[in-house]
Amino acid sequence: MSTPVVTVASGGRAVIDVSAIAPARGLPVSESPSGRGLAVTKAANGIGMPVVYDSINIVPPLAPTAWNPSDKLTTTLSNSNLTATATATSSGCRGVLGKTTGKAFCEFTWSVSANTLTYAGFALATTNLAMGLNATPGQCGVQRGGAVGINGSSVTAIGAMVAGDTVSMAVDLDAHVVWFRKAPSGNWNNSGTANPATGVGGLSISAIVGAVYPIFFGALANEAVTANFGGSAFVGAVPSGYPAGWG
């Protein structure tokens, strides 16, 4: 007769469930509803060992977002909705997931890039997708030409980019600051001291109030960007203290 085995917790040892062995001397193991390490007795007559189901410090995997097929303007999506391609002048799309708190890290790679005004970043749900980075409030991002804009104004520049270049974005929505860099090792916010891991040199986004969503704006037809929201390896290192993605 084969012995049934119950696996308890991630990384836990297998335990023998004696309830299926004649004569039945034990009770099946139940997972604690709270998952907080409560012991359950293995056998009714005391011959079993206590088993601890422990999920403390077990972090569930991040569920990355993607571009939203229901929130786009003259834009086609491909590559599992990670590549956005403009099909007309002034095209755009937003991501599926909006965030109001916490930290996030993601990257954008210019799949096709010719116009300096094409940009990627984040914006409010009410932001007009046909408006460029510095044409309306409620947006934050970096243009293909390298300019970083926040809430309708240009604030710094990280250097022009060409097709194949990647920009990293780290945002702390609790501290209301953001950092951009040319990946993998460009200076954050064009500063030798700025660093999301230490909270130094972040650009204020306090004027953008509400849930923000990743955004792409294509200034001309065929402009394209591929986002990495955490579903694959990043070009640059994820800053310490930041989750690996936007999810």
Q: What pLDDT is recorded for position 167?
A: 98
Q: What pLDDT is recorded for position 220?
A: 96
On the question of pLDDT at 115 being above 80, the answer is yes
Instruction: Give me the residue label for tokens 């996030």.
Output: 104
Number of other residues whose CB lies within 10 A of the CB of residue 29: 18
Q: Tell me which of 63-72, 86-95, 122-131, 194-203 is least confident.
A: 63-72
Q: Tell me which of 50-64, 163-177, 215-229 is least confident.
A: 50-64
Question: pLDDT tens digits for 161-203?
Answer: 999 999 999 999 999 999 999 999 999 999 999 999 999 999 9
Q: Are 242 and 103 in contact (CB under 8 A)?
A: yes
18: helix, strand or coil: helix
Residue 197: is it exposed, middle or buried by C-beta count within 10 angstroms (0-12/13-18/19+)?
middle
Residues pairing with 22 in the sheet: none
DSSP character at residue 108: E
What is the average pLDDT score of the chain? 84
Options 1.10.730.10, 2.60.120.920, 3.90.550.10, 2.60.120.1030; CATH of 67-228: 2.60.120.920
On the question of pLDDT at 135 being above 50, the answer is yes
Q: Which of 73, 114, 105 is nearest to 217 (CA)?
A: 73
Q: What pLDDT is recorded for position 112?
A: 86
Give the span between the Cα atoms of 47 and 218, in whole angstroms: 69
Between 5 and 143, the higher pLDDT residue? 143
Q: Which of 75, 70, 78, 77 is nearest to 87 (CA)?
A: 75
> Residue 48's pLDDT band (boundaries 50, 70, 90)?
low
Q: Where in the chain are the domains?
A: 5-54, 67-228
On the question of pLDDT at 62 being above 80, the answer is no
Q: What pLDDT is recorded for position 45?
A: 53
Q: Tell me which of 46-60, 126-140, 175-189 is least confident.
A: 46-60
